[in-house]
């Protein structure tokens, strides 16, 4: 299994809703990432988990809450989002070692629309 | 902090033409550079990974080069086809201080249209 899966593919939510995005990989990768991509812009890093611990939080608003329950799963909990948070949310994973070639694998993304 | 720039932002070519996409980066102390393809509304597909010790990497009709000293990489697409139409992104990694993960800095991409 050499892929990263993300659910749901599409999500429409109101500003008062609470929802979660899910990401899963079974490649034994120990680093997992959330990226946000606005239309016609490059992906921007949000969070990095390394060995199930949060390594990087790129000053992301607290209405986004990541969670890594185990080495295969990564969640992004959403609450009280704003319309400007509408974007494609990409999950990725990588081998995460010093000497290897940590080619990140990207999931297909979740298209989020906040009304 | 690494900055990655891609030119042109958009490119339209007739089918069959050979083309070159450009990527430049500010921090030459990279250990690899990647090229990705992204179709509209879709995720990223990794095309080529060039290690810092390499100068070129080839996959089918794609050839990527890396010149660390000048801070440049190019993606060459031979005999372009309409199916090559997509956005092409280059990305350079930064080693995260924890040592076990990589942060990619992406260029803004080149939107390629190959006309039949």
By CA distance, what is A42's nearest residue in B?
Answer: B108
pLDDT at A99: 42
Tokens of B43: 């995720």
Radius of gyration of chain B (CA): 14
Residue B101 clears pLDDT 60, i.e. is over it: no
Mutate to test the interface with B, among A104, A105, A111, A113 (most CBs of B within 10 A): A104
A56-83, pLDDT tens digit by residue? 888 899 999 999 999 899 999 999 999 9
Spell out where A1-115 has E strands: 4-7, 10-13, 18-25, 31-37, 44-50, 53-57, 64-70, 73-79, 87-94, 105-106, 110-114
Residue B95: band (very low, low, confident or very high) from pLDDT cuts 50, 70, 90: low
Give the three-class secondary structure for A85.
Answer: helix
Q: What is the pLDDT of residue A98?
A: 42
Across the strands, what pairs with A36?
Answer: A44, A89
Which stretches of chain A drop beneath a pLDDT of 50?
98-100
Is the bond preceding residue A25 a cis peptide, omega within 30 degrees? Answer: no
Per-residue model confidence as pLDDT tens digits over B54-67: 889 999 999 999 99
Q: Does A83 touch chain B (CB under 8 A)?
A: no
And the tokens for A43? 């992906």
Residue B96 binned pLDDT confidence (cut-offs 50, 70, 90)? low
Residue among B33, B73, B96, B75 at smallest CA distance from A50: B96
Residue B30 confidence (pLDDT): 82
| Res B19 pLDDT > 90 | yes
| Predicted confidence band of residue B41 (pLDDT cuts 50, 70, 90) | confident
């Amino acid at each position: 299994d050499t892929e990263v899966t993300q659910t749901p593919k599409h999500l429409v939510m109101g500003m008062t809703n609470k929802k979660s995005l899910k990401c899963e990989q079974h490649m034994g990768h120990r680093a997992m990432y959330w990226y946000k991509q606005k239309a016609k812009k490059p992906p921007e890093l949000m969070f990095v988990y390394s060995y199930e611990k949060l390594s990087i939080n790129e000053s992301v608003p607290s209405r986004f809450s990541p969670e890594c329950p185990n080495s295969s799963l990564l969640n992004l909990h959403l609450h009280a989002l704003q319309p400007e948070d509408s974007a494609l949310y990409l999950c990725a994973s990588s081998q995460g070692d010093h000497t290897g070639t940590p080619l990140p694998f990207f999931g297909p993304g979740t298209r989020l629309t906040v009304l | 902090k690494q900055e990655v720039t891609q030119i042109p932002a958009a490119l339209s070519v007739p089918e069959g033409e050979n083309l070159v996409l450009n990527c430049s980066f500010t921090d030459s102390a990279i250990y690899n550079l990647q090229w990705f393809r992204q179709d509209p509304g879709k995720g990223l597909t990794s095309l080529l990974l060039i290690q810092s010790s390499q100068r070129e990497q080839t996959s089918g009709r794609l050839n990527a080069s890396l010149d660390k000293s000048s801070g440049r990489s190019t993606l060459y697409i031979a005999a372009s086809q309409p199916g090559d139409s997509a956005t092409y992104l280059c990305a350079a990694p930064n080693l995260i201080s924890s040592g076990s993960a990589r942060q990619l800095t992406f260029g803004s991409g080149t939107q390629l249209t190959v006309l039949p």
